[in-house]
Amino acid sequence: MLLRNLDIKARLCNGTRMKVCALQNNYIDAEVLTGVSAGKRVFVPRIQLAPSDSNLSFVLKRRQFPVRLAYSMTINKSQGQTFDRVDGKTTESWSPNFKLRHMLPQMA
């Protein structure tokens, strides 16, 4: 799952689910799984991150891929997406009635 908006016109936005086809040193070759760009092959670059409010006497930078493993996600990230199958889990402290009333409308 993509963690940043990389290219809004190409629909590479935060929350886009992708399948990694190849992992290189500086980019990921991936296939988009969701939205109007489903099936499209894209390249996700490593991006440079630096803290904006650092009071250090040196510059701290790192490069990383803006992706995360997404075998599960929150209900907020999943809204507006279509799934073949879903599984809803909650903590045991909730009542069964509360679980059904709040999870089923989100999954329907």
**Res. 26: pLDDT tops 60:** yes
**Res. 99: pLDDT tops 60:** no
**Res. 108: pLDDT tops 60:** no
pLDDT (mean) for 30-43: 89
Residue of 47, 40, 48, 52 whose CA lies nearest to 12: 40
- 32 phi and psi, to 5 degrees? -70, 135
The structure's pTM equals 0.62
